[in-house]
Amino acid sequence: MFWVLQAAAAPIPTAPSLETTSHILFDVASGQVLVDSNADTPVEPASLTKIMTAFLVFEELAAGRISDDDLVTISKRAWQTEGSRMFVEVGKQVRVGDLVTGMIVQSGNDASVALAEHIAGSEGAFAQLMTATAAQLGMVNSQFKNATGLPAADHYTSARDMAILATEMYRRFPGRYQLYSQKEFTFNDIRQHNRNRLLWRDPSVDGLKTGHTEAAGYCLVASAERDNMRLISVVTGTKSDAKRFEETQTLLNYGFRFFEVHTLYRGGEVRSRAPVYAGAVETVAVGISDDLVLTLPRGRKQDLAAVVEIDRNIPAPVVAGTELGELLVSLDGKLLAKRPLLALEGVAEGSLMQQFGAWVGALFE
């Protein structure tokens, strides 16, 4: 079965040219990359590292292995960690919940080390868990040597890997993710503001993290939602604090202005019926298992071409979930999505009379 809906194409401008070492713009719902440049090139992540640190902490909290009210005794090593700080004091006990907030809002290196030591015993052991988790998430260009992002040999990631991580953070821990939109936090009578200035400038932005070292330049992972469309942008290696926000805003505005997200088909809905040979019924309902979501150039949904390819030789019995064909969706001749078509129901083998009738029918085809 084949259908094409024709309409005039709506042109969109080419992606903006940015002054970055690497960058990427990613749609969360569809998993599609809208813009990228050097997205797989290894870069120093600076404090973007703390997104992975937070991810592991959130996993521990979700599993119940630690709690927000656990008290962490601050080690001398955590206390004396250089760079941005929450200003915890050596030997004092601090709640996990406060350390998490200090790490996210204040970018506290001291809080990051304290959490790493609390979970894994040492920052080095925690870094091994970070790298292992990155591999599990499909972050193929990442290796972590510490929980803070302070410069270290063989400590690196990529723009694409950071987009993957930020997406998983948003999907898996929506309640915890809200911390990234908190604009300030006061601890030990010291009030500090979130370094992500876009939280003040763009109401659609609600996270995630800035980063900076001399080697890494100025970096930013940002997430924003407009009209039920959520985009994640990553920029690395910009030359100034202001530039990272400017380039991020350019990326986000481009994505929201010229693209839109559509749920084309729902998982479990009947897309077609396929004939079944010698079955208790003559056909079986087929469809896809999960929603098919695509991000398209704005105004181009009507230009999609969808093809349903179904096996025409399906003998009974049919087990629900059996792959019976494919759904192919393309735009301007470019394949955008391919999904297996599955049997949405089981079909039993027919009676002897039904099987005989099917055999006779096949003789005269």
Q: Which of 50, 145, 209, 243 is catalytic?
A: 50
Neighbouring CB atoms inside 10 A of 137's CB total 16
Other CB atoms within 10 Å distance of the CB of residue 262: 16
HEC assignment per residue over 208-255:
EEEEEECCCEEEEEEEEEECCEEEEEEEEEECCHHHHHHHHHHHHHHH
**Count of beta carbons in the 10 Å neighbourhood of residue 241:** 14
User: Using alpha carbons only, what angle is made at residue 359 by residues 354 and 361, rounded to the nearest 5 degrees?
Assistant: 95
Residue 267: closest CA among 250, 286, 284? 286
Whether residue 92 lies in the annotated active site: no
- Using the structure block, give the residue that is written with the tokens 């479990």: 268
Catalytic annotation present for 76: no
Is 50 known to be catalytic? Answer: yes
What's the alpha-carbon Rg for the chain, to the nearest Å? 26
Out of 84, 107, 142, 158, pick the active-site residue: 107
The set of residues, in sequence order, having a beta carbon less than 8 Å from that of 17 and lying 6+ positions away, is none
The helix/strand/coil state of 80 is: coil
Candidate list 22, 30, 47, 112, residue with the active-site label: 47
The residues near 75 (Cβ < 8 Å, ≥ 6 apart) are 90, 113, 114, 117
- Catalytic residue list: 47, 50, 107
